[in-house]
Structures are given as structure tokens and as C-alpha cells.
Chains A and B, each alone.
Chain A
Amino acid sequence: MNGFLPYLYAFVSGGFLCVIAQILIDKTKLTPARILVIYVCTGVLLTGIGLYEPFVNFAGAGATTPLTGFGYSIAKGVREAVDKDGLIGALSGGLTATSAGISAAIIFGIIASVIFSSKPKR
């Protein structure tokens, strides 16, 4: 994975996913939280029907960094866990695959709340 092209693909794909969300923000009354939920569920759905995996192979971090990539991790984790452990994998696979990210957000968030105080909003 050397050279300039993977970076270009990541940039354009990631940017494109953000533009879709920006249009949703500007043209609809969807709140950011709803948009993030839609993105995660879309990521799971697209992975389920087999479309997201090729997109990840093409765009790399441009596909895994946006929250659709979070849904991709969940779906991929579930699929691998079901292959390995059967039906119980449907419950265990999603959190296992995303555990590092979720734990990191929680732990760093706690540390940040100890160190920093909220700034007055201007």
C-alpha cells in the first residue's frame, strides 16, 4: 500500500461521505445524533449486503474512518463471530470488534473531563 493514490482515494471517499451528511444537515431537520445513527446503521446494512467491503478495499481509511466504518466493523465482527461460535456470535461479535474504539473514547473522555473544564461558548 505505497504511493500517492491510496491517499487520494481515502481523501475523496471520506470527503464524499461527509458531504452527504452536510447536505442532510442543511436540507433536512435531522439532528447530528440522528445522522450518526443513520450512518452506523447504513454501514451495517451495506456490509450485510456485501457492498461496503469492496469500498473499504478501495478507499481504505476513507471508508473505515467515517461512522459508516463503525457499522462496517460491527457487521464484520458479527459475521466472523457467527461463523466461529454460531448464533451467540450475533450478540458478541459487534462489541468485540469495536471494543478498542469504544473503550478509548470512554477512557480518554474521563481523563479529559478530569484535566479540562468547559469553555464559555461564544
Chain B
Amino acid sequence: MNKKEYTEYVEKKSKKSPIYKNCAFAFFTGGAICTIGQGLRDIYSSLTGDEKITSSLVCVSLIFISVLLTGIGVYDKIARFAGAGTLVPITGFANAVSSAAIDNKSEGYILGVGAKMFIIAGPVIVFGLLSGTIYGVIYYLAGILL
């Protein structure tokens, strides 16, 4: 069997996941996570009255919940049927960091935990900052020229 035949064989064997079902699960889980975020937003904003502190607190709280659920193995169970519903929210970012940290503990804290926790989150930060900086330069130039 050559490589192409093998790829075709694998694609035939691997179950086609029903896209409508996946989308429904993604919609409800993602929506639920955002609704929890909205609830936290209302609570923190009534407590602090400051928009910036509120969004930081919401972000940190969701990350905490996600890391905790990742540690006890619940997040990955939800993610198995929720798909993008648990990937796209900030909880998915936290899940990527913490599960990589936990899984690579055996390689030590420096090169295992410290280095590999960014295997998925790293690119997000790198390209987020790249595009943010490009936007900042354009915004600065536009402010001078226009």
C-alpha cells in the first residue's frame, strides 16, 4: 500500500462525524460558556463598577474554572462531544495550556511544563501580538497623516 492508498483507506475507515450534530453541540456548549461569562460580568461589574477590572476578573475566573475541570479530567470529556464549543472560548485556551502542562510533567518542570505548555497557546499569543502590533503601527501612521 503506498501513501496515497493508505490516506484513502484511513479516510474511509475514520467515521464521518455528522456535521449538524457537531454544530448543535458546539452551539449549545459555546453559548453556555459565554452565558456563564455574561453572568460573571454582571456580578463583577456590580461589585467593582469598573469595566476593565470586570473583564479581567471574568477572564481569570473562566480560566480558573477551565483549568480545574481540565485537571480533574472533566473538560476533555465535555470537549469530546462539544468540539469547537469548548475550543473557541477562552476556556479552550486555558485548557490547551493546562493539559499540555499536565501531560508533559514527566519531562520535568523546565523543558516539560515550562516549555510545552505553549504548544497551542504560544502561536495564539505570537500571531495575536503580531497582528496587534501591525494594527498599532497603521493606527499611529493614520493618526499622523490624516
Q: Fill in one digit per residue for A5-22: 1 if any B CB lies within 8 Å of its CB, else 0.
A: 011001111111111111
- Nearest-neighbour CB distance to chain B for A92, whole angstroms, equals 9
In the assembled complex, A51 has its CB within 8 A of some CB on chain B: no
Per DSSP, chain B at the interface is helix
Does more than half of chain A's interface fall in helix, strand or loop, or is it mixed? helix
Q: Which of chain A's residues have a CB closer than 8 A to the CB of B96?
A: 32, 36
Q: What's the least CB distance linking A76 to chain B, in Å?
A: 9
- The 0/1 profile, CB within 8 Å of A marked 1, for residues 104-144 of chain B is 11000100010001011101110111011101111110010
Residues from chain A with a CB closer than 8 A to the CB of B27 are: 15-16, 18-19
With A1-B45, A61-B58 known as contacts, the answer to whether A22 contacts B22 (CB < 8 A) is: yes
- Contact between chains at B133 and A94 (CB < 8 Å): yes
Task: Say whether B131 contacts A44, CB under 8 Å.
Answer: yes
Find residues 33-88 in chain B having any chain A CB closer than 8 Å to their own CB: 33-42, 45, 55-56, 58-60, 62-64, 67-68, 70-73, 76, 83-85, 87-88
Instruction: Please determine whether A105 and B128 come into contact, CB atoms closer than 8 angstroms.
Output: no
Chain B residues whose C-beta falls within 8 Å of the C-beta of A40 in the assembled complex: 124, 127-128, 131
CB of A28, distance to nearest CB on chain B (Å)? 12
A interface, size bucket: 35 or more
Contact A62 B34 (CB under 8 A): yes
Asked whether A70 lies within 8 Å of B124 as measured between CB atoms, the reply is yes
A61 and B35 contact, Cβ closer than 8 Å, known pairs A18-B88, A67-B89, A108-B67: yes
| Residue positions of B touching A, CB distance < 8 A | 17, 19, 22-23, 26-42, 45, 55-56, 58-60, 62-64, 67-68, 70-73, 76, 83-85, 87-94, 96-105, 109, 113, 117, 119-121, 123-125, 127-129, 131-133, 135-140, 143
